[in-house]
Amino acid sequence: MKKILYSLLAVGALATSAFATPASGDLIIGFYTSAGTGSGTNIMIDAGQFSQFLAGNGSTFSIGGFSATDLANTYSTGGGSNWYDRTDLSWGVIGAIKPTQSGVLAANSQGFGAVKDTLFATAQAGFGNTSAQSLGANVINPIYTYLAGSTVNGVGSATYIVPTASGVAGSFIQEKNAAANLDFKYFTSNSVMTYSMPGVVGTATQDLYETIPSGVSGTTGGVYKLGTFALTSSGMTFTDVGTAAIPEPSTYAMIAGAIMLGFVALRRRFQTKA
């Protein structure tokens, strides 16, 4: 019953978060291109607090405050809505919890709570340094101050369309460039952004990871997959990982071995009776 209640609260919060002031702990979705139509503009969507992505029940929901119309208006070429076919348009998701945060916040589906300097990012693999994250958090956190002082100006109710050269505390790509020497390696060994576009009928996906710092009382440091963002030509959804654990290959081997031993023992028992 509690699991159902938490899930309903999470989905309900997501539906209203688009109208809240950007704050530390929000997940920010960014779009950027370095050339061609829209190269002087970044699109950023405030997807709301990270806790809304921790339902842990395998649910899928639409991202509020996002509109594909903004992408078409900004990045389409030749007057069409073909932003989804471009090979030079990238997107990603980042977030951080401010270094001054005290206490343990909402727990993920593995039961580990977020603390100060916890990072969130989309990546192809979840590798990271969980003991030296403050630099990464310090780079990401100023984006909240910038957005809080900006005005929503997209079709999407939580969409900010800003110039690329907005400064370190401004556009999505400037945040990444500010961490050029880090490349978000305090979170992941791979780039936080991908050039994968969905096409008119396809889907482009990116996994969302959370890195909790190690050595903080009340939680367990580590890198955890929270779910997957899916971008289509008409919108974006998120599917959380659920709570079911996937056994490692070695675990499967142990299970198979146990079954085989049980089968042998059962066969000997029948042979003895015969």
pLDDT in tens, 44-62: 999 999 999 998 889 999 9
Q: Which of 31, 30, 28, 27 is nearest to 54 (CA)?
A: 27
Q: Which of 125, 135, 127 is nearest to 182 (CA)?
A: 135
**Start-to-end CA span in the chain (Å):** 51
pLDDT for 63: 96
Q: Long-range contacts for 168-173 (Cβ within 8 Å, ≥24 apart)? A: 168/142, 169/142, 169/143, 169/145, 170/143, 170/146, 171/30, 171/32, 171/42, 171/44, 172/28, 172/30, 172/31, 172/32, 172/42, 172/43, 172/44, 172/92, 172/94, 172/143, 173/30, 173/32, 173/42
The whole-angstrom separation of Cα 70 and Cα 76 is 10
pLDDT tens column, 107-164: 888 888 899 888 888 865 545 556 556 777 777 888 888 889 889 999 999 999 988 7
Residues of the chain with pLDDT under 70: 1-19, 78-81, 123-133, 165-171, 173-192, 243-274
pLDDT for 27: 94
The whole-angstrom separation of Cα 171 and Cα 143 is 8
Q: In sequence order, which residues have a C-beta less than 8 Å from that of residue 88 and are 6 or more positions away?
A: 33, 34, 35, 36, 195
> Which neighbouring-strand residues pair with 155?
none
Give the amino acid at 43. I
pLDDT for 4: 36
pLDDT for 164: 76
- Based on C-alpha coordinates, what's the Rg of the chain? 22
Tokens (6 digits) for 40: 């002087």
Are 130 and 222 in contact by the 8 Å Cβ rule? The answer is yes
Phi/psi for 205 (5° steps) reads -120, 150
pLDDT for 173: 67
Task: State how far the alpha carbon of 272 is from the alpha carbons of 45, 135, 266, in Å.
Answer: 70, 69, 10
Q: Which of 167, 115, 119 is nearest to 141 (CA)?
A: 119
Are 160 and 46 in contact by the 8 Å Cβ rule? The answer is yes
Alpha-carbon dihedral 166, 87, 61, 49, rounded to 10 degrees: -20
Tokens (6 digits) for 111: 């039961």
Q: In sequence order, which residues have a C-beta less than 8 Å from that of residue 178 and are 6 or more positions away?
A: 139, 168
pLDDT for 178: 60
